[in-house]
């Protein structure tokens, strides 16, 4: 049973695999499809910027999962 006094789960509680799958989908949808479908340059630029930001965040999570010894950052899997 869930305790009312417990803190909500931190984002670190979600597994690294889910983060990477979500990042991969976002990168493909926003970083690749606008060029494949030949949409306007504004959408291509926005999609590329968002895809880069999501990719950088995914790399940060991978780095933290591999090198961090803090118990809050350990991958639950």
pTM above 0.95, yes or no: no
pLDDT in tens, 35-49: 999 999 999 999 999
Structural domain contains residue 52: yes
Print the domain residue range for 41.
35-67
Q: Are 77 and 16 in contact (CB under 8 A)?
A: yes
Determine, yes or no, domain membership for 45.
Answer: yes
Report the number of distinct structural domains present in the chain: 1
Residue 21, pLDDT above cutoff 70:
yes
Is residue 28 in some structural domain?
no
Render the chain in DSSP notation, one character per residue.
Answer: ---TTSPPPPGGGS-HHHHHHHHHHHIIIIIIHHHHTT--HHHHHHHHHHHHHHHHHHHHHHHHHHH---GGGS---
Query: Is pLDDT larger for residue 1 or for residue 21?
Result: 21
């Amino acid at each position: 049973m869930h305790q009312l006094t417990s803190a909500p789960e931190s984002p670190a509680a979600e597994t690294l695999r889910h983060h990477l799958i979500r990042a991969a989908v976002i990168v493909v949808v926003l970083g690749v499809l606008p060029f494949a479908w030949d949409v306007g340059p504004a959408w291509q630029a926005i999609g590329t910027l968002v895809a880069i930001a999501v990719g950088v965040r995914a790399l940060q999570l991978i780095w933290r999962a591999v090198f961090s010894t803090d118990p809050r950052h350990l991958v639950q899997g």
